[in-house]
Chains A and B, each alone.
Chain A
Amino acid sequence: MAALALLPAASEAIYFRDKISWRSAIPPSEMVTVEQTRGWGDTAIWVDARPDEEFASDHVPGAISLNEDRWNELLPQFLTVWAPGKKIIVYCSSLSCNASREVARRLRKEAQLSDVFVLEGGWEAWLKKNR
């Protein structure tokens, strides 16, 4: 009976596997607030995951553009600036949905970099605290 009761739940989990919260959500340890980044100074690299136009319009001073529109082109440029021990703070805006999460995920998975964080509240949060 118990096995029968588990069957619908298991089927649903398989069917909605792409939407399972623990796969899409970012662990709190990988999120960072603007306040938390204040003391990081030169030990951090800011990565702007927004589209080119938004980056060109304005960005965090010193930030490097790395978006998925031109990932193959921009990643090598970012990697020449990165150094071991540096923290990476990725941000996007409310207009670019999950861009920062995706960029952070790819930096961890594809380039196998550690200390990659996603900025909570993104570009808007940074603007609010800094301008």
Chain B
Amino acid sequence: MKTPILAFTLSMIMCLGARAELKWEQTAIELHPGPNDKQAVGHFKYENTGKTPVHFKSVHASCGCTTAQTQKDIVPPGDKGEITATFNIGDRTGTQVKTVTVETDEAPNQKTVLTLKAEIPQQLEITPNFVFWKQGDKPDTKTINVKVGKDFTVKHIKVTSSTADFQTKVEEAGSGQFKIDVKPQDTNKITASMLTIQPEDSQKVFYATARITNAPAAPVAPVGPTAPARPSAPTGQTH
């Protein structure tokens, strides 16, 4: 009776000792990309601390804006490596959390979720970035508020309208805030204008849109001569 129990116990111990085990240095990384960075890259390092090779069955990013690459498909015992997760920032702002799910053959349905958290700095927060008047409305001034991000210093901003249909005036509101007053010349004509907002001493530009709309309106031509709508040579007023 004692022999089978001993054999069973020994085999269990041997199985445990022989199992593959991928040890992750960290499964969550927080990144702080710069204001002009296009990508945020996280390196998730691992080591096979087991006695058998580990196979990566799948590596799947949570969305199209993130890619994940393995250096190898099989990790021999004692070997180290990393999974590189690249998050394409695009025009995203604020806190972004992306995940990469890694499936290995360590155990049935063995999955590890790697988390990439990126804090995207925002130089200017523009609210609202769209002002509109209905056709025939009183051409009252509407205000766009601009708030400078906490890690930035902006003393002046320059605002340029892509058409002469809207007048803009910048006012410093103190504590890193500005007010942009937008006034249409005439609300009888359906028109749209791109407002380019540029902080002093910065290459980066921000946009807002001003529009006279007919409600409910048929679509009007996009702002600017061709899509995309970023105006290359604004012709309106500058403040």
Contact = CB atoms under 8 A, between A and B. Distances in A.
Interface of A: 18, 43, 50-51, 53-54, 67-77, 79-86, 95-99, 102, 109-113
B217 interface: yes
Nearest to A72: B91
A69 B91 contact: yes
Interface of B: 62-65, 88, 90-92, 95, 97-98, 126-130, 132, 134, 192, 194, 206-207, 209, 211, 213-217, 219-223, 227-230
A105 B236 CA distance: 31
Given A95-B64, A97-B63, A70 B211 contact: no
B92 to A, nearest CB: 5
Contacts of B134: 84
Contacts of B88: 69
B217 A111 contact: no
B29 to A, nearest CB: 15
A51 B219 CA distance: 23
B7 to A, nearest CB: 48
A18 B119 CA distance: 12
Contact of B209 (A50, A54, A76, A84): A76
Nearest to A81: B219
Contacts of A18: 95, 97
Contacts of A51: 64-65
Contacts, number: 102
Nearest to B229: A76
Interface centre among B88, B194, B209 (most CB of A within 10 A): B209
Given A18-B97, A80-B223, 15 more contacts: A67-B90, A68-B90, A71-B92, A72-B207, A73-B91, A79-B211, A80-B220, A80-B221, A81-B219, A81-B220, A84-B134, A85-B216, A110-B129, A111-B129, A113-B130
B213 to A, nearest CB: 6
Contact of B91 (A70, A76, A77): A70
Interface centre among A54, A76, A113 (most CB of B within 10 A): A76
B62 A97 contact: yes
B192 A83 contact: no
A112 B216 contact: no
Contacts of B64: 50-51, 53-54, 95-96
Contact of B230 (A73, A84, A109, A112): A73
Contacts of B126: 110
Nearest to A50: B64
Nearest to B192: A80
Contact of A77 (B90, B130, B211, B222): B222
A76 B90 contact: no
Contacts of B221: 80
